[in-house]
């Protein structure tokens, strides 16, 4: 076996290497691999840890040679990457920025394969740090001309509009209600930590694709059951994890307006095993929880890139 | 908050700091804390990863300020330690030797609180690297005069006898059958990866304390059901994990000769909430799976010691 380099990659190392294209490519690959049964995933677990919890989630992709897990406590996100061919530990990777980009990229992949091909407008509810990569990813997969953003604090949505407009070169308008952000939009993104639904049934329009990318707790929901019911197809990143984290689907199922059996794995759509929409009028919904195999796919690429470019600190 | 030092500790760093006394003390502490409800534990999970699997297990102990997890692939064991007071990552710790010592120490704690006070002889079945720390731990908690060891390969058991006899200053005899190793012994240790039971009912003598410290797979078992039935009290490190890993208890329960309700957590015994033995004739059994909170307790101590002694490599 050739000598193994173990690397420690900081947030700064990762930020210098990772862009949306890399994440989109890594996720496209891993979704296809998963559809072929190559990827194993363990849903997020949480243990109480003082003010908050320790979160940990794991995945393996032996065909690609990678196994790994992400954990986080108090906002410090770390991925540990192992080789599956006897190498042992390959890297310890700062994973805050990585998580933000891969979560955006997951919505990008969903939009690419589920939204109308001519989708050109995006409504986004939420203007936090996750909102940036959500919008960036959607703009990377569709020719977006117009964006509307709503979040509760006027200064924040205005800042988001000006910053992201400049960065992405699209027209972004800050609006003063979630309804205004949704009206007439081809793609609608919710990326909040809201407990109460921000997308209600009356906001869902014919032909719309929705990415629900915010919270991952059964105690919260971004869509009300009226909105769930309007979706012709609902996809997710992982069914097991959705059943324990996706508050809006759990509630809709509990009251009999949604059946878990109808939930489609995004990887099946990406691989062409399942059709996302049968007409331009269909409403499609992607429920993003954020799963370990997405982290693994991106971090495996980061490790390879770091080796090539000589980035990171070598570990004994 | 004072500045946080993040440390990378190699196997060599750990080996230089860790001894059995430290592990026994750390485990005594964490078992007491667990009896008071301070410790949260997540059983081992496994995902297929090429030739073998990725294993991962986690625990938090907020009252002590620690959260962490151990994972391993291809014999490379690593613990990640976080602080629970906003510190984020504290250390990445090579955990092969640590696991060997903590597994020994768990049997040491069990022996201390469950075996007869005058126990002076040990039979040990198995002579691998885990057998060394098993014997060392038992000798640390009882005044052991005589040891008999059996394993299938004569050279290995002879080498174990001579090496460990010198290291521990006790009389160790290599014997040619598992029955001979058990006969007349006060403490009996099984530390094998055997699929078939190495301790059968006829080998269990009145007053014996048994540590079953080998395999942690439901496909294997070290004791047959006849031996399980002879135990007056059975303790384990974690009930949830025993229910998915402890092959001998799972099988005994399945055939109606053991009830999970009767299984006692070792921490309850350590804390004096439960009596291990009511007479010198009682047979006691400790089923050790190896759990994450044991790793956390030892690795938290190692991190503190490394800080004090200036050991390890600082991470950015």
A48 lies within 8 A of chain B by CB: yes
Asked if B54's CB is within 8 angstroms of A47's CB, the reply is no
Task: Indicate the burial class of A108 (C-beta count within 10 angstroms; 0-12, 13-18, 19 or more).
Answer: buried
Contact (CB<8Å) A40/B48: yes
pLDDT at B54: 97
Interval A205-232 mean pLDDT: 95
List CB contacts (< 8 A) between B53 and chain A.
Answer: 60
The predicted pLDDT at position A291 comes to 98
Residue B224 has pLDDT above 90, yes or no: yes
Distance from CA of B48 to the nearest CA of A (A): 7
Shortest alpha-carbon distance between residue B311 and chain A (Å): 14
Domains and CATH numbers, chain A: 6-99+293-315 (3.30.1780.10), 114-290 (3.40.50.720)
Bridge pairing between strands B284-287 and B209-212: parallel
Residue A202 contacts B where some CB pair is shorter than 8 Å = no
A73 in contact with chain B, both atoms CB, cutoff 8 A: yes
Provide the mean pLDDT of chain B. Answer: 97
What torsion, rounded to 10 degrees, do the Cα atoms A133, A135, A140, A142 define? 160
Residue of chain A whose Cα is closest to the Cα of B86: A74
Any CB–CB contact under 8 A between A58 and chain B? yes
Q: Do A74 and B87 touch (CB under 8 A)?
A: yes
Residue to substitute from B13, B58, B72, B83, interface A, most A β-carbons within 10 A: B58
Inform me whether the C-beta atom of residue B126 falls under 8 Å from chain A C-beta atoms: no
Residues of A in contact with B62 (CB under 8 A): 48-50
Q: Does A71 touch chain B (CB under 8 A)?
A: yes
Judge whether residue B267 has pLDDT over 70.
yes
Q: What is the pLDDT of residue B231?
A: 98
Residue A216 confidence class, pLDDT cut points 50, 70, 90: confident
Region B255-283: what's the mean pLDDT? 98
Whether pLDDT at A51 is above 90: no
Question: What pLDDT, on the 0 to 100 scale, is given for residue A1?
Answer: 60
CB pairs under 8 A between A and B: 139
The closest of A265, A258, A255, A239 to A110, measured between CA atoms, is A265
Residue B2's pLDDT is 66
Please indicate if any CB of chain A lies within 8 Å of the CB of B309: no
* Chain segment A128-171, per-residue pLDDT in tens: 999 999 999 999 999 999 999 999 999 999 999 999 999 999 99
- Nearest CB to B69; choose among A60, A71, A74: A71
Token code pair at residue B208: 């014996």
Q: pLDDT per residue over B192-216, tens digit each? A: 988 899 999 999 999 999 999 998 8
Q: CA of A72: which chain B residue's CA is closest? A: B88
B59 — contact with chain A (CB < 8 Å)?
A: yes
- Vertex B92: Cα angle to B91 and B94 (nearest 5): 130
Average of per-residue pLDDT values in chain A: 97
CA of A9, closest CA in chain B: separation in Å?
9
* Amino acid A215: pLDDT: 83
Percentage of chain B beyond pLDDT 90 is 95
Looking at the partner chain, which of A56, A67, A89 has a beta carbon nearest the beta carbon of B69? A56
Tell me how long chain A is: 316
* Nearest CB to B54 within list A58, A73, A76: A58
Nearest to A90 by CA among A3, A199, A178, A14: A3
Give the distance from CA A221 to its chain's centroid: 16
Q: Does B8 touch chain A (CB under 8 A)?
A: yes
What kind and span of H or E run contains B88?
strand B88-94
Angle at the Cα of B48 from the Cα atoms of A213 and A10, rounded to 5 degrees: 55
Q: Which chain A residue is nearest to residue B57, measuring alpha carbons?
A: A56
> Any chain B CB within 8 A of the CB of A190?
no
Residues of chain A contacting residue B65, judged by C-beta atoms under 8 Å apart = 50
- A37/B contact by beta carbon, under 8 A: no
CB-CB under 8 Å, B58 with A73: no
Residue of B nearest to A37 (CA): B48
Q: Is the pLDDT of residue B1 over 70?
A: no
Tell me whether residues B316 and A45 touch, CB distance under 8 A.
no
CA torsion through residues B101, B104, B110, B112, sign = negative
Residue B104 has pLDDT above 80, yes or no: yes
* Minimum distance, in Å, between the CA of residue A95 and any CA atom of chain B: 12
Residues of A within 8 A of B10 (CB-CB) are: 316
B218 touches chain A (CB under 8 A): no
Do the chains contact at B84 and A47, CB–CB below 8 Å? no
DSSP string, B190-233: E----SS-SB-GGG--TT-EEEE-S---TT--SB-HHHHHH-SE
Q: A88: nearest CA in chain B? A: B76
Of the partner residues B49, B51, B75, the one whose CB lies closest to the CB of residue A60: B49
Q: Is B108 left (phi over 0), alpha (psi -120 to 50) or beta?
A: alpha
**Residue B205, pLDDT score:** 98
ipTM above 0.85, yes or no: yes
Helix ranges, chain A (H): 11-17, 20-35, 96-114, 129-141, 154-168, 178-182, 225-230, 239-245, 247-254, 266-270, 292-309
Give this prediction's pTM. Answer: 0.96
Q: What is the pLDDT of residue A58?
A: 98
pLDDT at residue A72 above 80?
A: yes
Chain B CB within 8 Å of residue A56 CB: yes
Which pLDDT band holds residue A96 (cuts at 50, 70, 90)?
Answer: very high
């Amino acid at each position: 076996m050739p000598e193994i380099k173990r690397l420690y990659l900081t947030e700064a190392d990762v930020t210098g290497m990772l862009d949306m294209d890399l994440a989109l490519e890594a996720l496209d690959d891993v979704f296809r691999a998963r559809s072929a049964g190559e990827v194993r995933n363990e849903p997020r677990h949480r243990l109480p840890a003082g003010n908050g919890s320790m979160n940990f989630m794991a995945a393996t992709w032996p065909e690609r040679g990678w196994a790994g897990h992400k954990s986080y406590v108090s906002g410090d996100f770390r991925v540990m990457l192992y080789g599956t061919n006897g190498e042992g530990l390959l890297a310890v990777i700062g994973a805050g920025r990585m998580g933000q980009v891969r979560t955006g990229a997951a919505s990008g992949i969903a939009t690419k394969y589920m939204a109308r091909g001519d989708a050109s407008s995006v409504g986004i509810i939420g203007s936090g740090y996750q909102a940036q990569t959500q919008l960036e990813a959607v703009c990377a997969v569709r020719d977006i001309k117009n964006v509307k953003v709503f979040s509760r604090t006027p200064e924040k949505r205005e800042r988001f509009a000006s910053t992201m407009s400049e960065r992405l070169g699209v027209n972004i308008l800050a609006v003063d209600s979630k309804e205004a952000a949704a009206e007439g939009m081809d793609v609608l993104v919710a990326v909040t930590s809201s407990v109460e639904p921000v997308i209600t049934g009356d906001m869902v329009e014919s032909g719309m694709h929705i990415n629900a990318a915010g919270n991952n707790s059964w105690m919260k929901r971004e869509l009300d059951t009226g909105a769930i019911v309007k979706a012709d197809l609902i996809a997710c990143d992982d069914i097991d994890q959705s059943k324990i984290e996706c508050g809006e689907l759990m509630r809709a199922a509990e009251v009999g307006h949604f059946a878990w059996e109808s939930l489609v794995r995004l990887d099946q759509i990406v691989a062409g095993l399942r059709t996302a929409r049968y007409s331009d009028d269909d409403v499609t919904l992607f429920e993003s929880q954020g799963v370990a195999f997405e982290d693994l796919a991106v971090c495996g690429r980061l490790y390879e890139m770091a080796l090539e470019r000589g980035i990171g600190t070598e570990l004994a």
